[in-house]
Amino acid sequence: MARPTTVYVCSSCAHVAAKWHGQCPGCEEWNTMAEERAPARSASADGGLRGRRTPAARPIPLREISADRAPRIACGIGELDRLLGGGLVPGSLVLIGGSPGIGKSTLTTMALGLLQGAGRRTLYVSGEESAGQIRLRAERLEAGAAPGALDIPVLAETDLDVVLATLEAQAPEVCVIDSVQTLAAAELSGAPGTVGQVREVAHRLMAVAKRTGTAVVLVGHVTKDGALAGPRVLEHLVDCVLQFEGERERTYRTLRALKNRFGSTNDVGVFEMRDGGLVEVLDASARFVGEATRAPGSVVLAAMEGSRPLLVEVQALVSPSELVPPRRVVNGIDRNRLALVLAVLARHAGVGTGTADVFVNVVGGVRVDEPGADLAIALAVAGAARGVVLGETDSPTPVAAFGEIGLTGELRSVAHHDRRREEAEKFGLGQIISPESAPTLRDALRAGALGRRVHAAA
Ligand code: TYD
Ligand code: MG
């Protein structure tokens, strides 16, 4: 009987089965079986005790190993190069993830266009769009942010073998695969985008990239909640993971480095989607502060995005609810964070929102995922609940805030408080409320001129 060429491996317990199962026979987890290529039968399945012995390898001290530092390939998009740690590393794999329509194809086309224009050899492989569609995008970019976009060699292909053969033959310096979920290895029967296919595609691309020294940029779709398993399984495999965030309808997008073997992580670049492509926003704080309103429920958060301070406006709306339980809608912050802030506001600061809908929004489509956002959320909600403008009424500038809220109503200091303060001062924000000036949430509300009413209510 012919040996099957593929097997099904549980991604949770590594149980191997010849057939697909909805529930893993090994660990009884559901939907974990993924198709993989069957390992070639090794000549010494008995561990080499019988017949040929596998020769032992000789480990070498690190000191004797030469590590040649190949020069980085800078794309010419400052924010992207900074996130990559100075540019693409030859032979490395970079994964750019993000929801559909966020601008992954735009960014990668721009990078290749600039590289091609600078005399580098590039290749753009698309399994999603026809060559004609890619040309239309390139025409927009050629006229805008990336002259050279029309010179990019393009391959519209979904067959992995064809892509690999082309990579070997052309040996480009930089290659974009848009997207990794659309390529498929012919030996695997699973549909493109399944865990087994995505892993196989990435593994084989990596092997070729290492051999030819090509820097490969994989584009991967992630749904909003990260539900699609595809790119997640790649995170440990690739050298660098960049996450594109923001909302399709908004103009601002942030690119975040989640992992980088060749640079720092937790760094963020801000872009704006314009007609001619993505434009770096170098003065993001100035933009967001300029757009901030002096209305009840608004406050400027002095956030840290990686190593850089960023001022963003946080807005809240509190309105009587007909629903039980009432609505808690967030944009740009974590829902659980809001739940905690609301609980502390009610318990320790006399601001109850138990029968009201609460909406919290970080303006501009930016995401802030740090405890330092707590105080700004609390001040925005309290201001909205009371219908009171935060800070001195005659001050023309909005109030800035940052700090973590503890469960007993105390405020905790957060990292880089001096840099946050400097950034707020740099943009002329007169009043800054932080754990350094207000030890408790009640003190912070008082400092924001929300305290009197709270006291009256208490
Ligand atoms: P796209 O890069 O195709 O997103 P993704 O590959 O992540 O799915 O495009 C995102 C959106 O950007 C799309 O709706 C069109 C818009 N866009 C511009 O506004 N300006 C431009 O110059 C380009 C090329 C696209
Ligand atoms: Mg795309």
Range from 97-101, 104-108, 178-182, 453-457 carrying the lowest mean pLDDT: 453-457
Helix, strand or coil, per DSSP, at residue 168: helix
Nearest CA to ligand 1 atom 21: 277
What is the distance in A from the centroid of ligand 2 to the CA of 2? Answer: 40
**What type of residue is 393?**
T
Q: State the Cα–Cα distance between residues 448 and 401, nearest whole angstrom.
A: 10
Q: State the Cα–Cα distance between residues 284 and 312, nearest whole angstrom.
A: 8
Range from 54-63, 219-228, 252-261 carrying the lowest mean pLDDT: 219-228
If one counts every other C-beta atom within 10 angstroms of the C-beta of residue 14, the result is 11
Nearest residue to 442 (alpha-carbon basis) of 354, 392, 375:
375
Nearest CA to ligand 1 atom 23: 277
What is the distance in A from the centroid of ligand 1 to the CA of 65? Answer: 45
Q: What is the dihedral of CA 374, 375, 376, 378, to 10 degrees?
A: 90
* Paired strand residues for 254: 245, 270
Per-residue model confidence (pLDDT) at position 41: 61
Digit-coded pLDDT (tens) for 26-54: 888 888 888 888 876 654 445 545 557 88
Q: State the Cα–Cα distance between residues 259 and 269, nearest whole angstrom.
A: 14
What is the distance in A from the centroid of ligand 1 to the CA of 47? Answer: 53
Nearest CA to ligand 1 atom 15: 101
Q: What is the dihedral of CA 359, 286, 268, 134, to 10 degrees?
A: 90
Digit-coded pLDDT (tens) for 140-159: 999 888 888 999 999 999 99
Q: pLDDT confidence of 67, banded at 50, 70, 90?
A: confident
Q: pLDDT confidence of 454, banded at 50, 70, 90?
A: very low
Average pLDDT over residues 71-95: 92
What is the distance in A from the centroid of ligand 1 to the CA of 255? Answer: 15
Nearest residue to 359 (alpha-carbon basis) of 343, 373, 377:
377
Provide the whole-model pTM: 0.80
User: Average pLDDT over the chain, rounded to whole?
Assistant: 87
Q: CATH classification of 78-282 is 1.10.132.20, yes or no?
A: no
What is the distance in A from the centroid of ligand 1 to the CA of 287? Answer: 22
Nearest CA to ligand 1 atom 2: 103
pLDDT at 122 over 60: yes
What is the distance in A from the centroid of ligand 1 to the CA of 276? Answer: 10
Per-residue model confidence (pLDDT) at position 425: 93
What is the distance in A from the centroid of ligand 1 to the CA of 404? Answer: 37
For 129-143, the DSSP string reads S-HHHHHHHHHHHHH
Closest ligand, as measured to the CA of 248: 1
Nearest residue to 300 (alpha-carbon basis) of 386, 384, 363, 370:
363
Q: Work out which ligand 1 atom sits closest to the CA atom of 179.
A: 6
Q: State the Cα–Cα distance between residues 212 and 174, nearest whole angstrom.
A: 10
Digit-coded pLDDT (tens) for 268-319: 888 999 888 999 988 888 888 888 888 999 999 999 987 789 999 999 999 9
Domain boundaries, the chain: 6-37, 78-282, 286-447
Q: CATH classification of 286-447 is 3.30.360.10, yes or no?
A: no
Average pLDDT over residues 13-21: 85
Q: pLDDT confidence of 1, banded at 50, 70, 90?
A: low
Digit-coded pLDDT (tens) for 372-398: 999 999 999 999 999 999 987 777 889
Digit-coded pLDDT (tens) for 351-375: 999 999 999 999 887 888 889 999 9
Nearest CA to ligand 1 atom 1: 103
**Pocket of ligand 1, candidates 273, 274, 275: which has the most ligand atoms within 8 Å of its Cβ, to mutate?**
273
Q: pLDDT confidence of 258, banded at 50, 70, 90?
A: confident
Pocket of ligand 1 (CB under 6 A): 98, 100-106, 137, 140-141, 144, 273, 275-277
Q: How close are the terminal C-alpha atoms of the chain, in Å?
A: 81
* Paired strand residues for 8: 17, 35
Q: Work out which ligand 1 atom sits closest to the CA atom of 178.
A: 6
Digit-coded pLDDT (tens) for 399-415: 999 999 999 999 999 99
Phi, psi angles (nearest 5°) of residue 141: -75, -35
Average pLDDT over residues 59-88: 88
Q: Are 292 and 334 in contact (CB under 8 A)?
A: no
Closest ligand, as measured to the CA of 111: 1
Q: Which residue's structure tokens are 């010494």?
A: 44
Q: pLDDT confidence of 69, banded at 50, 70, 90?
A: confident
Question: Side by side, which strands form the sheet with 356-362?
Answer: 328-331, 356-362, 308-320, 298-305, 400-401, 432-433
Question: Side by side, which strands form the sheet with 93-98?
Answer: 154-156, 122-126, 174-178, 215-221, 93-98, 240-246, 252-260, 268-274, 277-280
Q: What percent of the chain has pLDDT over 90?
A: 55
